[in-house]
Amino acid sequence: MVDPVTALLVDDQELVRSGLRRILRRRDGIVVVGECSDGDEVPGAVAQHRPDVVVMDLRMKRVNGIQATRQVTETGGPPVLALTTFNDEELLSGVLRAGAAGFVLKDSPAEELIRAVHAVARGDGYLDPAVTGRVLSTYRTAAGDPAPEAVAELTPRELDVLTLMAKGRSNGEIADELVISGVTVKSHIGRIFVKLGLRDRAAAIVYAYRHGIVAAG
């Protein structure tokens, strides 16, 4: 039997946390192990509950989601899934820089939130395709920054994988589209990280948009 994914919910609105709790608890395979009403509570809750995923709101009163995400990622904590709305673009780009593994819109269907939690838990990451290009366009000029020499070190297949990652595809979707195994996808991603000096999937996606490897929009 596969162990369920454990999640920590972070939002300063009780009604939002209650709604998230109901959505996640009615699905097999996800267990809500704790909740926080502000970002300053996150380090202690992570240490206490050791969740597989932190579902993090970005706008909070004392410590916002960017600061809390940075604290989690810099201490080797679990992956963070950011919750956002369409007008949270500045905060969202900041939370990606802070190391978030992905984001999902607050008004997304319940099933999309479920997919996002599972994707982040297994290391795929999740970037909502509805806003990916729009948000990441803030990382590049109209013409795109010149691609560093390191990009030339990528093989054609690694470029394919990087492009699909930047478009929000999961590892499984990349494997299906390129007709390769999931293990091979992970191997390509690992080499991309090493060659480009990146630490995680979100950084790779930002890199692809910033340097014009993928067009924003």
Question: DSSP letters along 85-143, please?
Answer: -TT-HHHHHHHHHTT--EEEETTS-HHHHHHHHHHHHTT--EE-TTTHHHHHGGGS-SS
* Residue where one domain finishes, among candidates 85, 108, 128: 128
Q: From its phi and psi, is residue 188 left (phi > 0), alpha (psi between -120 and 50) or beta?
A: alpha
Give domain status of residue 162, yes or no.
yes
* 92 and 154 housed in the same domain: no
Asked if the model's pLDDT at residue 61 lies above 50, the reply is: yes
* 113 and 10 housed in the same domain: yes
* 163: Cβ contacts below 8 Å, ≥ 6 apart: 208, 213, 214
Number of domains in the chain: 2
Alpha-carbon distance of 195 to 127, in angstroms, equals: 22
Asked if the model's pLDDT at residue 135 lies above 70, the reply is: no
* Residue where one domain finishes, among candidates 103, 128, 153: 128
* 53 and 111 housed in the same domain: yes
CATH of the domain at 64: 3.40.50.2300
* 77 and 42 housed in the same domain: yes
Write down the pLDDT at residue 45: 95
Give 8-35 pLDDT, tens digit per residue.
999 999 999 999 999 988 777 899 999 9
Asked if the model's pLDDT at residue 145 lies above 70, the reply is: no
Q: Decide: 96 and 70 in contact? Cβ < 8 Å.
A: no
* 109 and 44 housed in the same domain: yes
CATH of the domain at 152: 1.10.10.10
- Please state, for a pLDDT cut of 90, what percent of the chain lies above it: 40
Q: The whole model's pTM is what?
A: 0.76
> What is the greatest pairwise CA distance in the chain?
50
Q: For the residues 58-86, what does the mean pLDDT come to?
A: 89
- pLDDT-derived band at 141 (thresholds 50, 70, 90) equals very low
Give domain status of residue 216, yes or no.
no
* Residue where one domain finishes, among candidates 109, 128, 147: 128
Asked if the model's pLDDT at residue 142 lies above 50, the reply is: no
Give 181-209 pLDDT, tens digit per residue.
989 999 999 999 999 988 777 778 778 87
Give domain status of residue 215, yes or no.
no
Task: Give residue 105's domain range.
Answer: 5-128
* 102 and 158 housed in the same domain: no
* 34 and 120 housed in the same domain: yes
* 120 and 182 housed in the same domain: no
